[in-house]
Amino acid sequence: MLAVAHPPDDEAVAALRTSLAARVATLARGEGLHEPAVLPELMLVRSDNLHGTVCGVYQPCVALILQGTKRVMLGQDAFVYGPRRYLISTLDLPAVSTVLEATPQRPYLALVLRLDLHRSSKYLIELCDQSRVGIKAIKTCGTYVRVWLDRDYLC
């Protein structure tokens, strides 16, 4: 299983995550995937209970868990991520996923932003040219789970 140690949680980041979780809980009133009409690239995900394993295809996306945890299996590799990690998928990949933490009182909540890879690669090249961003990454099969650090470099 691939995992990255949790970095210390900054109070401002925790407050932002809590605020986003409250907004997602309000907008995604029932369980499942919710696609706001005004932002077709964005999906809101809510699960009030544990439903077992789900098979599907991860399209290119950035997935941010605001509350709860999830395990994603890609072949033999397992990614466990939660509120202080994010997942990036850069390819259409078959995956098996399981929500590990969800209750009606504290549902699993996530934001998933679909990526336009052509546009994203252009922005990433510009970002790397302008600054150095520190991250530590675990990657396999075009999918990344990342934790922001101060000393490592993306480019």
Q: 107-145: per-residue pLDDT in tens?
A: 999 999 998 877 766 776 666 655 555 444 445 555 555
Structural domain range at position 95 = 11-148
Asked, for residue 61, whether it belongs to a domain, the answer is: yes
Q: 48-72: per-residue pLDDT in tens?
A: 999 999 999 988 898 999 999 999 9
Asked, for residue 3, whether it belongs to a domain, the answer is: no
Asked, for residue 31, whether it belongs to a domain, the answer is: yes
The reply to whether the predicted model has a pTM over 0.85 is: no
The C-alpha angle with vertex 87 and arms to 85 and 92, in degrees rounded to 5, equals: 175
**What's the confidence (pLDDT) of residue 152?**
40
Asked, for residue 153, whether it belongs to a domain, the answer is: no
CATH number reported for the structural domain that contains residue 99 in this entry: 2.60.120.10
Determine contact, residues 93/141, Cβ cutoff 8 Å: yes
Alpha helices in the chain (DSSP H): 11-27, 117-130
Asked, for residue 143, whether it belongs to a domain, the answer is: yes
Q: 68-112: per-residue pLDDT in tens?
A: 999 999 888 898 988 888 888 888 889 999 999 999 999 999 999
**Is residue 146 over pLDDT 60?**
no
Asked, for residue 4, whether it belongs to a domain, the answer is: no
Number of domains in the chain: 1
